Chains A and B, each alone.
Chain A
Amino acid sequence: VNIVVCVKQIPDPETPAASFKVDEVAKKVIPAQGIAPVVNPYDPQATEAALRLKEAAGTGKVTVISLGPDSARDAIKHALAMGADEGVLITGPEFEDIDNFQTAKALAAAIQKLGGADLVLTGRAAADWDMGVVPLGIAQALGVPCVTVAKAIEKNGAGLKVERVLEDGFQTVETPLPAVVSVSNEFGEPRYPQLRQIMLAAKKTVQVWGANDLGIAGEMGKENRRLVLEALYVPKVESNVEIIEGDTPEEKARNLAQKLRAAKLI
């Protein structure tokens, strides 16, 4: 099996609200001091899924692609250290401020340049914009089916059997290959790279492609966004909290119960 995994580098999603700042004029997040960007938390699960499928097949190749600034190499290195075989970094000024539709187009173009894939794996969503649209966009561009939010994936004849997470349970589906599958946190813990693998990863190839290499320069750039960012801001929270007083925890609890009753909340 020939598998491509898409990984994205994002600002740390657990950045505390107090350190999170936005430039409302530029409509951009101001990188938080001392908090390094991380691999999108769902993407190592996609990498894990790829490695398990390759191991089960006993043969195959796992290529990891990331679109982003030069620092996105770290996201690729992480996947290589987990055991992926090769990396591709898509980078350049044309990709600045593009929307997720352009992202999907660029990733699909890179997959085609690689000669296609039997399976493309992504995370269920990028925890920064959290839209969950890129996998469906890649599938559309490649003309293949897309199974979203997978918690388990196994080879099933010429296709795949996938367990999907629904709002109130699970669904098992069967898809032919090639296909795109997005992987959810329910998939389970991804493996943790060992020191030896991190050293090995340093020797693995990472190709770097720009918009011209992919023949998509005319479709990238902020001006070709289909989704227009009108405003980006930090929602104001006004604190009107009433701290319930009392000499002991028990007294506080009694006072709370009485407040709630007076306010007809219980």
Chain B
Amino acid sequence: MAGILVIAEANEGALSSISGELLGAARKLAGEGAGTVTAFVAGSEALGKELIALGADAAIVDTNPALQGALAEVYLPAVQAALQQSGADIVLMGQTALGRDLGPMLAFALDTAVSMETVDLKYQGKLIATRSCYGGNARAEVSFKNAPAIATVKAKSFDALPADASRTGAVTTIDVAGEARIKILGVQKAESTGIRLEDAPVVVSGGRGLGDPSGFKLLEELAALLKGATGASRAACDLGWYPPSQQVGLTGKVVSPNLYIAVAISGASQHMAGMAGSKNIVAINKDPDANMVKVAKYAVIDDYRKVVPALIEEIKKLG
């Protein structure tokens, strides 16, 4: 038997965006001969229908309430049961708080391997996963000696297909949950004001070259004007100039806006790992040789303190 099992995720009864992206990836692989697509989700049967509409051939819904908000160890036996039922030899999940633990756990439990933070997938008689390594300086393509092949997929690496309500497929339910050795005592959501960084069509980010935290005020003004969000490099966050929740990069958020304006950011590979997927990059930097300038579509080589205020004025004038 062959096929793909997608581990979808839902939040308060609604599928999270990674679920559609994973199904987009799975349909691509199915088109390359990887077999049928089964989607697994914890929640209600209605979610199963949504997964079919988004590209699954069949859905397995685990209705056990213990899975809601649970840690990966509670999911492990449920996913193993779904794997058995589907007969899949490829498992895809998101590089999320759940997937980053579940992927390795499943791999170790089944004596196989996992490709973490996968950015591309292809099927050539076997699954080949592409991922970034050495801080973004290198890319590796890996395959799997044993089955199933498991990959956790980075957000925004694949596009979701439009929901098609006319698609049909079987939705079955199971009721499996593992034992929780680790107990969750509480969850604290980070305060976020304005548009979520990951969803913003325009992101204006600042780096160490801003010189002091006041530079971010200018960037926030520019971002507000463009109805975008404000991000930061790790160097700027480590200096305490901007909250870590707004950090873009390998150890921060991954963004792929239509427009990314990098102000006084050099473009280290770890920063690029979080924004290289941006459709259009603008660099504002004093240094013509900065990596960010090389990858940009447009660059202004000058002091941001003079450039950004003038940019704000001109955009206001253009209306």
Contacts and interface: CB of A to CB of B under 8 A. Distances in A.
Given A133-B114, A265-B258, A241 B293 contact: yes
A169 B259 contact: no
A110 interface: no
B160 interface: no
A170 B186 CA distance: 8
B182 A147 contact: yes
B143 interface: yes
A11 interface: yes
Nearest to A230: B141
A226 B138 contact: no
Interface in A222-266: 225-235, 237, 239-244, 248-250, 252-254, 256-261, 263, 265-266
Given A13-B270, A169-B190, A229-B142, A244 B299 contact: yes
A233 B187 contact: no
Interface in A118-173: 127-133, 136-137, 140-141, 145-149, 161, 166-173
A2 interface: no
Contacts of B142: 227-230
A132 B101 CA distance: 9
Contacts of B282: 256, 260
Interface residues of B, number: 82
Q: Chain A binding site: helix, strand, loop or mixed by DSSP?
A: mixed
A20 B186 contact: no
Given A226-B145, A233-B139, A234-B137, A186 B244 contact: yes
Interface stretch (B33-41, B47-55, B60-68, B304-312): B304-312
Interface in B166-196: 181-190, 192
B315 interface: yes
Interface string B279-318: 0101100001001011111111111001111110111001
Nearest to A134: B104
A23 B96 CA distance: 32
B116 interface: yes
A57 interface: no
Contacts of B144: 226-228
A185 B249 CA distance: 14
A243 B139 contact: no
A129 B101 contact: no
Interface stretch (B83-91, B105-113, B205-213): B105-113
Interface in A16-74: 17, 20, 22, 29
Contact of B145 (A225, A231, A261): A225
Interface residues of A, number: 74
Contact of A169 (B71, B189, B306): B189
A167 B311 CA distance: 33
A215 interface: no
B10 interface: no
Contact of A258 (B183, B259, B270, B314): B314
A139 to B, nearest CB: 8
Given A136-B104, A232-B139, A256-B298, A170 B188 contact: yes
B30 interface: no
Contacts of A127: 135
B117 interface: yes
B184 A252 contact: no
A145 B137 contact: no
Contacts of B295: 237, 239, 241
A81 B294 CA distance: 41
Contacts of A136: 101, 104-105, 108
A166 B190 CA distance: 9
A132 B114 CA distance: 11
Contacts of A256: 282, 298, 300, 307, 311, 314
B182 to A, nearest CB: 5
A20 B182 contact: no
Interface in B105-132: 105, 107-109, 111-117, 128, 132
A250 B189 contact: no
B46 interface: no
26 contacts: A14-B268, A20-B138, A130-B117, A130-B133, A133-B116, A136-B104, A137-B108, A140-B108, A168-B190, A170-B190, A175-B181, A226-B145, A229-B142, A231-B139, A232-B133, A232-B139, A239-B294, A240-B297, A241-B298, A248-B306, A250-B310, A253-B308, A257-B318, A260-B298, A263-B280, A265-B259
Q: Which 8 A-B pairs have the closest CB atoms?
A: A253-B310, A249-B306, A257-B314, A226-B113, A227-B113, A136-B104, A133-B104, A140-B108
Given A129-B134, A130-B133, 16 more contacts: A15-B134, A29-B138, A101-B107, A132-B104, A140-B108, A145-B73, A168-B245, A169-B187, A171-B184, A226-B111, A232-B138, A248-B306, A253-B309, A253-B310, A258-B318, A261-B318
